[in-house]
Structure 1
Amino acid sequence: MATLVLTVVGGIVGGPVGAAVGAAIGQQVDAAIFKPKGREGPRLADLKVQASTYGQQIPKLFGTMRVAGSVIWATDLIERRNKRGGGKGRPSTTEYSYAVSLAVALSSRRVGAIRRIWADGNLLRGSSGSFQERCTFRWYDGGEDQPVDPLIASAVGAASASAFRGLSYAVFEELELGAFGNRIPSLTFEVEADAGAVDAGVVGDALLGEVGRCGGHWPIAGYAASGDQVRDALAPLFEIDGTRLVSDPAGWRLAPAEIPPDPSAFSDFCEAERVLTPADCRERRRAPLSSLPGMVRLRHYEPERDYQLGQQTAAVAGGGAREERVDLPAVLSAGSARALARALAAAAADGRETLVWAGDLAALALPVGGLIALTDGGVWRAAARTVRGSGVSIELRRFQPASTEVMAADPGLPVGSPDWPDAEASVRLFDLPNIGTTSASAPRLVVAAAGSNDGWRGADLWFQPEAGTEPITLGTARPTAALGVLGATLPAGGTLLFDRSGALTVTLANPSMTLESVDERTLLGGANRAMVGDELLQFADAEMIGPATWRLSNLLRGRNGTAAAAQAAGAPFVLLDDPALLPIPDDLARLAEAGAAVLQWASRSGVDVADIAVPTAGQALRPLAPVHGAIRRGGAGSVEIRWIRRTRTDAGWRDHVDVPLGEGREAWRVAVEPAAAGIGPWETSSPSLTLDAATWAALAPESVFSVRQAGDFALSEPLLLPLTI
């Protein structure tokens, strides 16, 4: 169109000369506008971006590849509501979480397995097969007999659901989206289509549908074949192999040219009586070295860096300033890619030198693409044959063999997320004493959780007041700083403030957990508080004596009114100075009084639910046992029993006067053990009790007095006083 218009305009303006100039310009414009579409082969970036475009091409996968795939079916976001709190005039909190179900197409060729899965670049499913986020996962290998997915069938109807036969795809059922900003993440999959490495021959035979039609020698770990035509998909592989069309009496084939052990001589394809002379070489051409690229840059997928893009370069001897970039959508190790880049650089001069020989009709037996040896010792490739009368012109090009030896190379520093094996989860419920300056009105229950490695992402928790009731969501317990068990029995503590001789051995759940030593001033300030069973203690010295095993010494036992009793091996241990501890709300902790409440938990990477019984009475509600009991004689044979109270409100005694009561009223219960008919029990509102002479005389010598404080919610542990004055 531009040629016609500009020719007419040029003729009007400048006559015949103007018409010629206009025609020339118009031809260039038409060539730029209407030039044919170039070939579109696979691109490296195509495999990394998840798409859902209708008509999107699904590649055929070979070997093992990491691909994003295409979303072929998805539901709307599934919304869940969870209401928490709201008891006794407190405002309630409504939390929302979202999930989605979707199917992702991966390969239009049958595959063998789906290995790791990434979401937004982070591992969603590791090599162990466990998922970091809760979902139900299925995949289909792309066979011609695969069934319809039941979830898709239930959503669109059995009559409308497709089995996607011949297409390998993965299905996620209710994938939780909280970790991805409540949106569908970008998913990539490690897909194993073939158990081992493949080459251009394997890929070519599969795409052409004819076994033995293609050959290849450079092994690749994985390849994604795509393009408008088969030649577009095969072009990158044929380029690295130097594949040529070879014709022989058995038929044509595509294969890389390889030097046979004993190459045939050119004279073998001439008539017997003919003698070749230098005059038979009609033409010799040699391209300048400047026409060769100076550098070959090969880009590929690096398996040692989770299939991220890798790059290897090689210089071409004597080449010019031009750089040749080869984008190979294949998986190659760093060593193989480096060797391939050097092989491509060495083979850059292949075909640079051309000879045209004159032969006879016997030269028609020389296969195009075949290799022959000339008298000068070089190996040449037959590029073309031209028949003129009884003669044949043979075009030969110098063959530059490339080495296929793999060499050492550094793949670079991996930047992917670590692939942790399945972790063994530990979730413990601890009943704490009253910690603070106010009296607790509900049990102080906290949950501590940990995994056996750093890949464990926590556990979801539910509180069930009694069997058959709806579980109440508590949230997620994150990994704590230090959680474990006693490795050996801890003896009972003494009466002194510091326990210098005692020590405890702790085995932590995760070897990466650490404990730190502190000085005594910091220790007395409240550092290194830990629960061991039902005892709260502190430690000053922490020494690592083995993997995940620590020896703790220089102890403060029985803190905050807990009993410094012996603790058996296997008793749970947790460091309390950790914000990851999850407290159970007071309104739920009060529901444990019936004795049927359980704590349910499930790891974020699993679906199995475990139960932990919740204690019926909390330490925080129990008054502390009185101390310093004494029995003194009074007047007229009477006996006075005295003791000193303690308080759960403030465990310190800094001003040497009575500590705060910490209860609504002061009440004491005194009894004789074993019980004697007609004697006691007594109740008093002061820390003393006076018995007359007759009552004292009626007591058996082996009896003891049991003194307990009656608190707002529970009785204290007893103070036992023998009948000695």
Structure 2
Amino acid sequence: MATLVFSALGTILGGPLGGAIGALVGRQVDSAIIGSPSREGPRLKELAASTSSYGAPLARHFGHMRVGGSIIWATDLVEHRNTQGGGKGRPSVTSYAYSASFAVALSSRPIAGIGRIWADGNLLRGAAGDMKTGGTLRFYNGHGDQEPDPLMAAAESPLPCPAYRGLAYVVFEDLQLADFGNRIPALTFEILADEGAVSVAQICDRAFDGLSSGVTLAGISGLSQEASLAETLGSLHPILPLFYEVAGDAVRVIGEEGAAPVALREPTAATKDDEFGARTGFAAKRANGRPQTPAALRYYDIDRDYQPGVQRATGPVQSGQLNAVEIPVALDAAHARNLIEAAARRLDWSRQSVLWRSSEIDPAHRPGALVTIPAMPGIWRVSAWEWRASGLELTLVRTPFAAPPAALSLSTDTGRAAAAIDRSIGTTWLTALELPWDGTGAGDVPLVRAAVSSASPGWTGAALYLDDGDGQLVPAGSSGRTRATAGTVVTAPATASPLLVDRTSGLVVELLGDDMALQDATMRQLAMGANRALVGQEIVQFGRATPLGSRRWKLEILLRGRGGTEAFMAHAAGERFVLLDDALVALDGTLVAQSPLTTAKAIGGGDGAPVASDIACRGLTQRPLFPVHPRAVWLSDGSLQLGWTRRARAGWLWRDQVDTPLNEQAELYEVLLGSEADIIAMWETTQPQLTISAAVIAGLAAAHPGKPLIVRQRGSYASSASLHLTSLI
């Protein structure tokens, strides 16, 4: 704020030069009042996604990390065209999908493998290695014996294709891009470079000869090295101090852990008056003021899918902006809290220092060693030594720890993260069926629907096909991600009248998924078609759905034989159950009508082979409903008068005082003597009644006693099921 005020005032008084001077004065005032930001170590990136910058260096990764990588090779987008429909004056629909093949470099050192992959923040590959979207993934670990990728080699032929030895990378082949707006998504990868905690020896591997270290970076499960080795090790120093010993051509790296503190002998007095500790041999001092101790640590939190996290140290709140330490390492919240707390305490105690003179040279007093001082409390660390004519001069700083604390028993909270849910894709469940005509359109095309579902909520849909029986798959669209509510029958219902509400029997079904549910319906809602379900090949409606646990539901208050399925009311356990709602997927009825052997097939991301289903209720759309209310009257002259009541396709609404339209090209009935498979005699009539003369009926009764008389309606496309009228005496 002062910067803005002084800059404006200076501009008014002295023009542009005065504005610059005012801004400088204002910044000094802001720094004095607010403080200046202080950060140690490299800036943390907000999980940068995959890029493709030519000449950009590739980082080396250790342990487990989440990185973006760099796209090093790619093909053009491949267009996939799918045309459905058409024929008989119907328009065709053409849909387009796109895929891409590309390679992403991950690490400039060999790694063991990869775990999860995120695309635009959502999981593209789960922890189990399952791809959530169509495509093929190949991984190359970066060792010196890896071969060129076959896809890249074929695409680059006749030019040579590098094997990228020493570089770990992945290749995506035909990655489906429909879920990402038909573009290559922003990718991040979980790198599994090494197992266990990261060590200094791993980071310094092959950097130079003669280096040895047994230091393990406690609690750090992953680290990315994007800078030089010196800068990387230096960035760790605020929270994990490292000390170095040089002996000839060898370098040894040590940490805070080590042997027990070494007791120093009595100090040596100085021989010159201008040296410290002329009489005592040591000099103690304490820095004035409170040091700017690190107050917070920013890191990649493994419990939050490697999103940046912050842990703060205890102590008084410092004025000004927060003094934060940022290091590109993967930690959990507990270790991060311990590290920043130890760093803050270490720096606070280090205000006390001692200059100590010793007359002997002891390798145990090397820099980094812990010592105790005669007649002085506490543990001290040797930060430097100097060999002089008067003896060995040691610089000691006070430390609160004899070794880095494994746990300080401090409460931690990793915070809430909107992590991508890793759901298993699961296998596809499919049932195809034909529905009765709903009254829309001409009713000349079968209403074929596919109930496509899965037991897993992570199911991503399936591609649908039709098979006419010759093994050739005709594309029939996609199911989408919405799962149909379906399952199997556990307890089958008893046979009941389709003319009455069945309040005595019920059925128990087991749904596919735990997240699937059924709901009740009122009688008015049932009259409007609610809660229709396919049980075997019978369409029923249910008014009450009671959960029984373990995905099981009891369905009661049933309306049976709906839509002309009265002939399929006998059931057995294990039959399919499908809720007939908006989750069903429409299939092209014109293709289905071409062959009676047509089956539906589906294949999803979790299926090893296509899932097949026959088409239940075949012909239900075009088949008339069979007549009802049979009547047989013997007249006084010996003739037989037969009657019945017709029903009509799509006549689901009951309009008072208005006849239901027939919805057929002509009204025609067939009265049969015998059965549909063994017809003895047949009469045709255009009225829902027929009178057979006494002579004819007497002759038939004498030749075929006990044979039934049945009637069926002949529709425009099929004949209905038969209705029993009477039997000959």
State the TM-score, normalized to the length of structure 1. Answer: 0.87
Aligned to 2:715: 711
Deviation at 1:707, TM superposition (A): 0.8
Q: Deviations over 1:494-517 (max 9, x none)?
A: 254210001011111111111111
Aligned to 1:34: none
Distance 1:675 1:472 in 2: 37
Contact 1:61–1:222 (8 Å) recurs in 2: yes
Query: Residue 582 of structure 1: which of 585, 607, 615 is its match?
Result: 585
Distance 1:44 1:321 in 2: 21
Aligned to 1:102: 102
Aligned to 2:565: 562
Distance 1:514 1:720 in 2: 40
Aligned to 1:403: 405
Aligned to 2:550: 547
Q: Which amino acid aligns with 2:621?
A: A
Aligned to 1:256: 255
Decide whether aligned partners of structure 1 residues 357 and 649 sit closer, same or farther in structure 2, where only a CA change above 3 A counts. Answer: closer
The secondary structure found in structure 2 opposite 1:179 is helix
Contact 1:457–1:478 (8 Å) recurs in 2: yes
Deviation at 1:264, TM superposition (A): 3.1
Report matched runs for 1:617-628 at 5 Å: 617-628=618-629
| Worse-superposed segment, 252-261 or 335-344 | 252-261
Contact 2:670–2:685 (8 Å) recurs in 1: yes
| 1:446 is aligned to 2:449 | yes
Deviation at 1:366, TM superposition (A): 3.5
Decide whether aligned partners of structure 1 residues 161 and 269 sit closer, same or farther in structure 2, where only a CA change above 3 A counts. Answer: farther
Contact 1:679–1:695 (8 Å) recurs in 2: no
Distance 2:676 2:241 in 1: 102
Q: Which amino acid aligns with 2:405?
A: S
| 1:233 is aligned to 2:209 | no
Distance 1:676 1:110 in 2: 75
Distance 1:708 1:215 in 2: 90
Aligned to 1:66: 66
Aligned to 1:132: 132
Q: Which amino acid aligns with 2:193?
A: A
* Structure 2, unaligned runs of 5 or more: 1-38, 271-275
Contact 1:286–1:353 (8 Å) recurs in 2: yes
Distance 2:128 2:522 in 1: 43
The secondary structure found in structure 1 opposite 2:147 is coil
Aligned to 2:393: 393
Deviation at 1:396, TM superposition (A): 2.5
Distance 1:134 1:482 in 2: 24
| Worse-superposed segment, 88-97 or 397-406 | 397-406
Decide whether aligned partners of structure 1 residues 102 and 607 sit closer, same or farther in structure 2, where only a CA change above 3 A counts. Answer: farther
Q: Deviations over 1:366-386 (max 9, x none)?
A: 423323221113333333333
Report matched runs for 1:462-611 at 5 Å: 462-467=465-470, 469=472, 471-563=474-566, 565-577=569-581, 579-591=582-594, 594-606=595-607, 608-611=609-612
Contact 1:134–1:607 (8 Å) recurs in 2: no
Aligned to 2:698: 697
Q: Deviations over 1:256-276 (max 9, x none)?
A: 2346325231449999xxxx9
Deviation at 1:180, TM superposition (A): 0.3
Q: Which amino acid aligns with 1:576?
A: L
Distance 1:568 1:580 in 2: 26
| Worse-superposed segment, 141-150 or 616-625 | 616-625
Decide whether aligned partners of structure 1 residues 266 and 484 sit closer, same or farther in structure 2, where only a CA change above 3 A counts. Answer: same
Aligned to 1:647: 648
Q: Deviations over 1:650-708 (max 9, x none)?
A: 03444366432110001111111159999522222222222222221222231001211
Decide whether aligned partners of structure 1 residues 615 and 538 sit closer, same or farther in structure 2, where only a CA change above 3 A counts. Answer: closer
Deviation at 1:418, TM superposition (A): 1.1
Distance 2:114 2:120 in 1: 18
Contact 2:210–2:249 (8 Å) recurs in 1: no
Q: Deviations over 1:547-601 (max 9, x none)?
A: 2110000111112222161122222212223x2211113332332xx22323221
Q: Deviations over 1:159-212 (max 9, x none)?
A: 511111111111110000011011100111112111222244543446556663
Decide whether aligned partners of structure 1 residues 714 and 208 sit closer, same or farther in structure 2, where only a CA change above 3 A counts. Answer: farther
Q: Which amino acid aligns with 2:406?
A: T
Q: Which amino acid aligns with 1:404?
A: A
Decide whether aligned partners of structure 1 residues 46 and 259 sit closer, same or farther in structure 2, where only a CA change above 3 A counts. Answer: same
- Between the two proteins, the alignment pairs up a number of residues equal to 678
Contact 2:199–2:214 (8 Å) recurs in 1: no
| Worse-superposed segment, 449-458 or 309-318 | 309-318
Deviation at 1:611, TM superposition (A): 2.6
The secondary structure found in structure 2 opposite 1:45 is coil
Contact 2:592–2:598 (8 Å) recurs in 1: no
Aligned to 2:203: 203
Q: Which amino acid aligns with 1:157?
A: S
Aligned to 1:18: none
Decide whether aligned partners of structure 1 residues 42 and 81 sit closer, same or farther in structure 2, where only a CA change above 3 A counts. Answer: farther
Distance 2:218 2:517 in 1: 50
The secondary structure found in structure 2 opposite 1:240 is coil
Identity %: 36
Contact 2:492–2:571 (8 Å) recurs in 1: yes
Distance 2:575 2:317 in 1: 75
Deviation at 1:298, TM superposition (A): 0.5
| Worse-superposed segment, 703-712 or 433-442 | 433-442
Report matched runs for 1:674-685 at 5 Å: 680-685=681-686
Deviation at 1:324, TM superposition (A): 2.1
Distance 1:261 1:441 in 2: 92
Distance 1:616 1:566 in 2: 14
Aligned to 1:458: 461
The secondary structure found in structure 2 opposite 1:558 is strand
The secondary structure found in structure 2 opposite 1:341 is helix
Contact 1:598–1:612 (8 Å) recurs in 2: yes
Distance 1:463 1:210 in 2: 69
Contact 1:58–1:226 (8 Å) recurs in 2: yes
* Structure 1, unaligned runs of 5 or more: 1-38
Decide whether aligned partners of structure 1 residues 616 and 263 sit closer, same or farther in structure 2, where only a CA change above 3 A counts. Answer: same
Q: Which one has a larger percent helix, Structure 1 or Structure 2?
A: 1
Deviation at 1:435, TM superposition (A): 2.4
Q: Which amino acid aligns with 1:288?
A: N
Aligned to 1:412: 415
Contact 2:284–2:352 (8 Å) recurs in 1: yes
The secondary structure found in structure 1 opposite 2:347 is helix
State the TM-score, normalized to the length of structure 2. Answer: 0.86
| Worse-superposed segment, 601-610 or 524-533 | 601-610
Distance 2:478 2:154 in 1: 31
Distance 1:265 1:297 in 2: 35
Decide whether aligned partners of structure 1 residues 476 and 269 sit closer, same or farther in structure 2, where only a CA change above 3 A counts. Answer: farther
| Worse-superposed segment, 411-420 or 595-604 | 595-604
Q: Which amino acid aligns with 1:142?
A: G
Distance 1:674 1:391 in 2: 123
Deviation at 1:347, TM superposition (A): 1.1
Q: Which amino acid aligns with 1:545?
A: L
The secondary structure found in structure 1 opposite 2:681 is coil
Distance 1:513 1:528 in 2: 14
The secondary structure found in structure 1 opposite 2:534 is strand
Aligned to 1:659: 660
| 1:151 is aligned to 2:151 | yes
Distance 1:667 1:463 in 2: 34
**Aligned CA-pair RMSD:** 3.0
Deviation at 1:71, TM superposition (A): 0.8
Q: Which amino acid aligns with 2:454?
A: G
Contact 2:436–2:650 (8 Å) recurs in 1: no
Decide whether aligned partners of structure 1 residues 210 and 556 sit closer, same or farther in structure 2, where only a CA change above 3 A counts. Answer: farther
Q: Which amino acid aligns with 1:706?
A: I
Distance 2:260 2:219 in 1: 22
Aligned to 1:20: none
Distance 2:165 2:440 in 1: 69
Distance 2:215 2:124 in 1: 38
Deviation at 1:338, TM superposition (A): 1.2
Decide whether aligned partners of structure 1 residues 241 and 702 sit closer, same or farther in structure 2, where only a CA change above 3 A counts. Answer: same
Deviation at 1:304, TM superposition (A): 1.5
